[in-house]
Chains A and B, each alone.
Chain A
Amino acid sequence: MAETQQESGGSGDSFDLTQFYQIFFEEAGENLDLMEQMLLNLNLETADDEELNGIFRCAHSVKGGAATFGFSDVAELTHQMESLLDRLRRHELQPNALMVDVLLESADASRSLLARHQAGETGEPPSSADLVRRISELASGTTPSQAAPAPVAQPVPAVVPPPTGLSVKGERQLEIRMGPLERPAQADAVKELFRDITGLGEIVDMPSDRADTRVFKVGTSSSNEDLLDLFAFHVSREHVAIRDLGEAVGVGVAPQPGHAAMSFADDPPPGTPIAPAPGFGFFEGAPGAPEAVKVTAEGAEPKGSAKVVARPNAAHQVQPEAATIRVAINKVDQLINLVGELVITQAMLAQNSRSLDPAVYQQLLTGLADLDRNTRDLQESVMSIRMIPMSIVFSRFPRMLRDLASKLGKKVDFVTQGEATELDKGLVEKITDPLTHLVRNSCDHGIEMPEDRIKAGKPETGTITLSAAHQGGSIVIEVRDDGRGLSREKILKKARERGLDVSDQMSDADVWQLIFAPGFSTADVVTDVSGRGVGMDVVKRNIAALNGTVEIDSSEGYGMRVSVRLPLTLAIMDGMSVGVGEEVYILPLSSVVESFQVKDEAVNTVGQGSRLVKVRDEYMPVIELEKVFQVPRFDFEKSSDIMVVVEAEGSRVALLVDELLGQQQVVVKNLETNYRKVPNVSGATILGDGKVALILDTSALVRRSRH
């Protein structure tokens, strides 16, 4: 060990902290999420120590890390949060809704500050000064004002004067300036001294004219020398300036003269020259303490320190949290990609082996069968790595609903079911926005005002349920509410106003589908939450883009249920392969409605070569894939005479193809990353025989038919 120490004489400055940033960002994010969750579950009247301690610890951990890694803005904000939470867990203050609000806001602000650091953004950070001020006002037991006070008119310190004895004889009013400081937050530790040492006096924040300087107003009966000694633990002496403001008038809690600084008997005697705070110390005579130690004050430049060299670390112990590991998503994607290739190779082998004589190649064929099974298992296991539980999405809703319900003056209970249901990470990210929209809609339009609910004979508090469950190869996510439901009449009326083709005979299911029409909203009042007429069509389009479907079920007066069905992953898709000339194309099975052989007379030509086909009573545009993709044709005997009806974005079109080749699962390859964007194509796959087939973008084809 000694050798290692002597290898270099570098200082700690060369130690690269950035390698720990990522793990800190993740950890801080988790702590802030956990804190938010605990704050939301906090019952203000019955909050117990364990809950308050847990919340405190979250803020505390984030602060500690932020300070260590030099994110001073985050450290400062979380320090304020910690101070408030500390008073709460000590039961010096009773938690209230205002505090929860400010803490939630601060958690958000911390997140965005961290995100800025993570993205490496420089420049002026968003100011959290207002939050800091509001928290510290709450922590001092006063009601926060809404806007930041103008610096010119700083009010008298916000401390309630005691009913008797405005000040104690001998107490002085001081203005104490600390600065310039590298980390102004270190001056805040001084405030803790006043809190921790009974009788030291009162300290109040004052506005400062410089960012690196803190100004406090202090009422105390301790001498300047004692104060300087005390402060020296946090702020070095030469950075502290004390100005006497004279005898105290109207300062808060009466100090007990004589007790000031007494509890610091262990620390250096007053009068000794104090170097910058050492930040560590040993207890004299304590087990293991170096002999004859005083508080060692070597200052900020320790001598003979080791330059830390990264080296393989064989002695490293297995960590308790080894149950999970963090892996970069691109590594997982790489793995999925490779397994995809393996599946294709395996399929090719299987196809080629069919012509082999089983009697001669029995061993080879058995091996191939094993390979087939193992490949499938491997693929499933690898896919499951990307699967994350729906709770990641669900957990954001309690907060959102709480804010929303209080804004709208409604009472809403939020229930989640099946949070453990797993879904591909990519899908989880993409489904979040549509779900947010649906949940908002339920709260805004579904759930009635409390008084209306009582009138309707319902419980005052509405319930919104979000559930997720696996059904076959899909996941079904439902948003249910017990609100007013959809009104058939209103929707039909609105549809007529908008010139949509509707009739009173339409089935409920068809009527509900109308709300997915672009710009359709039946909301009586346009709120800033939802109801501007954009929404459900976007929801449906986004879900369709994930090869998913949306269904609505509703009963007027009783509520509404929106079911979203999604494939479990975007990497594998159920496809229908169709042949056009020599080419094979894949259609997403979720968009295929039906297929049939068409007779020439069923197709009508209208306008500039556009063709329509009549299917039962519905006319729909015909798209000839042969023309769209300019497929060369060698065999003129054959022609496209099979129609596949596909639905996307609420419209149907009929695709004209030569033949239907079958249904199969295909591994989706991104064309854009490997080649470039191709119109009307959403991706590609490799077929069992090694040929590449394009996967058609049915939405693009539908849009194309509209022009």
Chain B
Amino acid sequence: MPVILAVDDSPSMRKMVSFTLTGAGYQVVEAVDGQDAYEKAQTQSFDLVLTDQNMPRLDGLGLTRKLREHPQFKTTPILMLTTESSDLMKQAGRTAGATGWLVKPFDPARLLDVIQKVIK
């Protein structure tokens, strides 16, 4: 069963993402911010990282950069789930090493669809 790390500081978003993914048969590990996610990534490997951008302590871009430094996460798909749809944000995401982005608010079906495209 593919394991997805879902990172969001908002409990309701986290819950919804987690519910959507577990319902579709994925295993989900939740993290409350980038720092928490990074710590979890030290002890466990994931098939996909789905992260919010704007979070306390460590934001989505920062998390992406730090994960990419690890050999283990070199090729792991990292999707940024964000309300910021601006071009700059996308540029920054690309530079940081993200795989793609998904704009909030999103449709659960679309989330699953996008994840299916990238997950091994």
Residues of chain A whose beta carbon lies under 8 Å from any beta carbon of chain B: 1, 3-5, 11-13, 15, 17, 19-20, 23-24, 27, 54, 56-57, 60-61, 63-65, 67-70, 189, 192-193, 196-197, 233-234, 263-264, 266-267, 277, 279-283, 286-290, 293, 296, 298, 300, 302-306, 308-311, 313, 315-317, 319-321
A263 and B24 contacting across the interface, CB-CB below 8 Å: no
Contact sample, A vs B, 23 pairs, CB 8 Å cutoff: A1-B24, A4-B24, A23-B11, A23-B12, A27-B11, A27-B12, A56-B54, A64-B104, A68-B16, A193-B87, A287-B76, A287-B97, A288-B76, A289-B77, A290-B118, A302-B110, A306-B23, A308-B24, A315-B27, A315-B28, A316-B18, A316-B22, A319-B30
Q: List A contacts of B116 (CB < 8 A).
A: 5
> What is the bound-complex CA distance between A282 and B99, given in angstroms?
6
Q: List A contacts of B74 (CB < 8 A).
A: 287
A308 and B87 contacting across the interface, CB-CB below 8 Å: no
Known interface pairs A24-B12, A283-B98, A288-B76; A67-B105 also in contact (CB < 8 Å): yes
What is the chain A residue whose CB lies nearest that of B20? A308
A281 and B32 contacting across the interface, CB-CB below 8 Å: no
B109 and A302 contacting across the interface, CB-CB below 8 Å: yes
What is the chain B residue whose CB lies nearest that of A296? B117
A321 and B26 contacting across the interface, CB-CB below 8 Å: no
> What is the bound-complex CA distance between A304 and B15, given in angstroms?
23
**Smallest beta-carbon distance B69→chain A, Å:** 12
What is the chain A residue whose CB lies nearest that of B120? A288
Q: Give me the 5 closest cross-chain CB pairs, A-B, nearest first.
A: A12-B109, A288-B77, A282-B100, A305-B109, A68-B105
Q: List A contacts of B85 (CB < 8 A).
A: 189, 192, 233-234, 279
> What is the bound-complex CA distance between A308 and B54, given in angstroms?
27
What is the chain A residue whose CB lies nearest that of B117? A290
Known interface pairs A197-B87, A264-B87, A305-B112; A64-B105 also in contact (CB < 8 Å): yes
The one of A54, A196, A281 that contacts B86, using a Cβ cutoff of 8 Å: A196
B114 and A64 contacting across the interface, CB-CB below 8 Å: no
B90 and A266 contacting across the interface, CB-CB below 8 Å: yes
8 Å CB contacts to A: which residues of B60-117? 68, 74-79, 83, 85-88, 90-91, 93-94, 97-110, 112-114, 116-117
Q: List A contacts of B77 (CB < 8 A).
A: 287-289
**Smallest beta-carbon distance A398→chain B, Å:** 23
Q: List A contacts of B54 (CB < 8 A).
A: 56-57, 60
B16 and A266 contacting across the interface, CB-CB below 8 Å: no
Q: How large is the interface on B (under 10, 10 to 19, 20 to 34, 35 or more residues)?
A: 35 or more
> What is the bound-complex CA distance between A12 and B110, given in angstroms?
7
> What is the bound-complex CA distance between A306 and B85, given in angstroms?
25
**Smallest beta-carbon distance B98→chain A, Å:** 7
Known interface pairs A12-B107, A15-B108, A279-B106; A317-B29 also in contact (CB < 8 Å): yes
Q: List A contacts of B31 (CB < 8 A).
A: 320
B100 and A320 contacting across the interface, CB-CB below 8 Å: no
Residues of chain B whose beta carbon lies under 8 Å from any beta carbon of chain A: 1-2, 9-13, 15-16, 18-20, 22-32, 36, 48, 54-56, 68, 74-79, 83, 85-88, 90-91, 93-94, 97-110, 112-114, 116-118
**Given A281-B100, A293-B100, A310-B19, 19 further pairs, Cβ under 8 A:** A1-B26, A5-B116, A11-B109, A15-B20, A17-B16, A19-B19, A20-B12, A64-B10, A64-B105, A65-B10, A67-B105, A68-B16, A189-B85, A196-B86, A266-B90, A288-B77, A302-B107, A317-B28, A317-B29
Q: List A contacts of B27 (CB < 8 A).
A: 315
What is the chain B residue whose CB lies nearest that of A10? B109
Q: List A contacts of B100 (CB < 8 A).
A: 280-283, 286, 289, 293
> What is the bound-complex CA distance between A11 and B18, given in angstroms?
18
Q: List B contacts of A303 (CB < 8 A).
A: 113
> What is the bound-complex CA distance between A24 and B74, given in angstroms?
34
B30 and A279 contacting across the interface, CB-CB below 8 Å: no
Q: List B contacts of A280 (CB < 8 A).
A: 79, 100-103, 106, 110, 114
A283 and B99 contacting across the interface, CB-CB below 8 Å: yes
**Smallest beta-carbon distance A562→chain B, Å:** 39
B15 and A23 contacting across the interface, CB-CB below 8 Å: yes
What is the chain A residue whose CB lies nearest that of B5? A317
What is the chain A residue whose CB lies nearest that of B95? A283
> What is the bound-complex CA distance between A13 and B110, given in angstroms?
11
> What is the bound-complex CA distance between A23 and B30, given in angstroms?
16
> What is the bound-complex CA distance between A334 and B87, given in angstroms?
54
What is the chain A residue whose CB lies nearest that of B53? A60
> What is the bound-complex CA distance between A298 and B109, given in angstroms?
12
Q: List A contacts of B102 (CB < 8 A).
A: 279-280
**Smallest beta-carbon distance B96→chain A, Å:** 10
